């Protein structure tokens, strides 16, 4: 089932400024960056540490590129801050179905493409005590081990 905290998603108004804060304050470096048109965000993944299952834990900084994106709408109401928590899993399809069977609403019928070619889905925050929760299956943790894509 769930093996680690994959990442904490943090919504921000200015990605470059926020990346610089985490670099200057904590020494975190950008491991990967991309624009995800489907999700409507520009993002940077800052690696925190390796994990025992071959993956890693990250901070995911998210800047909306459209006001009508999920992150853009969330920021219009809440401003900057923690947007979601993501748990790593070896099989997002199986785990999301098992969680759905327990009465938790899964927001996507089929997992979608996430950061670094991962497969993702989200769980409804009203069913998770107010926390938007993401499930993530990494594309291939070993393939991204030394990736510097910024």
Active site residues: 7, 43, 60, 84, 134
Q: Contact at 8 Å (CB) between 29 and 20?
A: no
- CA–CA distances in Å: residue 90 to residues 22, 59, 87: 29, 20, 10
- Three-state SS at 4: strand
Length of the chain: 150
Q: By CB neighbour count within 10 A (0-12 exposed, 13-18 middle, 19+ buried), where does 6 fall?
A: buried
């Amino acid at each position: 089932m769930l093996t680690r905290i994959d990442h904490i998603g943090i919504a921000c108004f200015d990605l470059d400024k926020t990346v610089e804060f985490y670099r200057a304050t904590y020494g975190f470096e950008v491991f990967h960056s991309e624009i995800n048109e489907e999700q409507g965000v520009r993002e940077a993944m800052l690696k925190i540490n390796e994990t025992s299952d071959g993956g890693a834990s990250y901070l995911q900084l998210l800047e909306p590129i459209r006001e009508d994106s999920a992150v853009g709408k969330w920021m219009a109401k809440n401003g900057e801050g923690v947007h979601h928590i993501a748990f790593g899993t070896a099989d997002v399809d199986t785990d999301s179905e098992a969680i759905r069977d327990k009465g938790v609403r899964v927001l996507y019928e089929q997992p979608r493409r996430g950061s670094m070619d991962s497969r993702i889905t989200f769980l409804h925050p009203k069913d998770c005590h107010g926390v938007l929760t993401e499930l993530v299956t990494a594309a291939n943790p070993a393939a991204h081990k030394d990736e510097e894509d910024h």
